Amino acid sequence: MQLLQPEEEIHKLLAFVTTNEASDLHLKVGYPPTVRIGGHLRRIDSPKIPDSEYVEKMIEAVMPPGKRELYDQRGSVDFAARSAGGDRFRINAFRSEGQMHAALRRVQSRIPDFESLHLPPIYEKVIMHSQEGLILVSGVTGSGKSSTLAAMLKFINANRSMHVITIEDPIEYAFKPDKCIISQREIGIDVADFPDALRFVVRQDPDCIMIGELRDRETMLAAIQAAETGHLVLGSIHCNNAEQTFSRILEFFERQDHTFIRSSLANSLRAIMVQRLLPGVKEGSRFPATEVLVNNSIVRDKIIREEDEDIPAVLHACRDEGMRDFTQSIFELAEKAWITHDVALDYAPNREALQSRMKGIDTAGQGLISRVRK
C-alpha cells in the first residue's frame, strides 16, 4: 500500500475516520496515521508518514486562509474543516522538534440520548423540571461528561423553545435546531477563551448556557451568576464524587468569599451528577456508574452550614427522590450483568458495603454473565 498525494490522502483519512466512527486522527512524522476508536489508539494499515513536508501539504489542503501564518508565528494553530462527507473536524496543527504534527477531532453529528448512554431516569427528570439554575456534570477525564451534556442538550432541543449558547473546547457534537436556536462557540476558533466568551454571553439573550468545562474562578463565578439571574446553566467539572465537587468549587475562591459562594450555590444549584465509566462484560463496552445529588431543603442546609461531609449520608437517605451513590449504581450494573463482580468490587468506593449487597446476586448474576460472554 502506498500513500496517495497529500491532498488526496487527507480526504481519504477523513472518510476513514467517519466510516469507522473514530473520534480522533493523529498525524505524526515517522508513524502511520493513527485513529482513536472506543477510547483506544489504533494505527491504520498504511505506510509511515515520511516527513514534515508531507504533513504540511495534507493540512494545508484543509486549512483556511491566513492560518498558516499563525502557525509559523506561534508554532500551533486551531481551525475547523469539513470533510467531503459532511463531517466537521476540529484540527490542531502543532510544531514538534521542528516538524508539523496534527490532531484532528471529529465533531459528531449523531447525538446520544439518556437511554443509549445507560443513564438513570433521574437525569431526564432533572432536566425536564429545571427551567433555571446550575446543573453540574462531574467526573475525571474520559468519564463521558461531554456525552452526558450532549444528551441533556438533545432533550432540551426536542422539548423546549430556548436560545441555547454553548462554549466548548472543543465542540464535540454538532447540533441541528429542533425547537431551540443553538449557537455553538469554540474556544480558539470562535472566541479567544472561556472568560472572554462568558463576559458577554448574557448579552446574547440566552435561555440556556452550556459551559464545556468549569476550570477556574472566572468560569465558575460566571456560571453561578448566570444561574442566579434566571438562566439554565449546564457545565462540567473534574471531581471524583459529589462531596469533592463542593471542595473543588470553593478552591477557585478566596476563603473570605466562601460564605457568599455557598449561599449562591444553595439557591442556584439544581443537581450534581458524577459519573465513572466501568468496563463492561462485552469486550470494548463501558457503562456509567453514577452518583446524583439533587438540591433539596436538606442539601441546601448542608451547603450553607459547611457540612459537606454529610453528603454521602444524604445520598443514601434520599433515594426516593432519585438520589444515588456509587455503591448503589455499581450494584445495579452488576445485578444487570453489565459488569462483572470483579470489576464492581475494583471500582467500589466501599468494597465491604458492596460485597454485602451483592451476596444475593452471586449465583444468578454469574450465570447471566457467562451467557453474555458466549
Predicted confidence at residue 147, as pLDDT, reads 93
pLDDT at residue 88, rounded to an integer: 86
With 80 as the cut, is the pLDDT of residue 374 above it?
no
Q: Which of 182, 190, 141 is nearest to 158 (CA)?
A: 182
Per DSSP, the three-state class of 12 is helix
The pLDDT value recorded for residue 198 is: 93
- Over residues 194-244, the pLDDT tens digits come to 989 998 999 999 999 999 999 999 999 999 999 999 999 999 999 999 999
| Residue carrying C-alpha cell 438533545 | 154
pTM of this structure: 0.81
φ, ψ (nearest 5 deg) of residue 324: -155, 150
Q: Where are the alpha helices (DSSP H) in the chain?
A: 6-19, 52-60, 67-74, 121-128, 145-159, 194-200, 217-228, 242-251, 258-268, 297-304, 311-317, 326-335, 341-347, 351-358, 362-373
- Give the full edge-to-edge strand order of the sheet including 88-96: 40-43, 34-37, 24-27, 99-107, 88-96, 76-82
Distance CA 180, CA 259 (A): 36
Over 90: is that where the pLDDT of 3 sits? Answer: no
User: What pLDDT score does 122 carry?
Assistant: 97
Q: 326-335 and 351-358 are packed helices; what angle lies between their axes, rounded to 10 degrees? A: 40
pLDDT value at residue 270: 98
Confidence of residue 292 (pLDDT cuts 50, 70, 90): very high
Residues for the chain: how many in total?
374
Cα–Cα dist 26/4, whole Å: 17
CA distance to 23, 62, 80, 108, per residue, from 84 (Å): 17, 11, 14, 15
Domains and CATH numbers, the chain: 6-106 (3.30.450.90), 121-324 (3.40.50.300)
pLDDT over threshold 50, residue 371: no
Residue among 223, 244, 343, 360 at smallest CA distance from 293: 244
Predicted confidence (pLDDT) at residue 301 exceeds the cutoff of 70: yes
pLDDT digits (tens, 9 = 90+) for 302-312: 999 999 999 99
Q: Which of 134, 10, 180, 184 is nearest to 81 (CA)?
A: 10
For residue 82, is pLDDT > 90?
no
**CA 239 remoteness from chain centre:** 13
pLDDT at 109 over 80: no
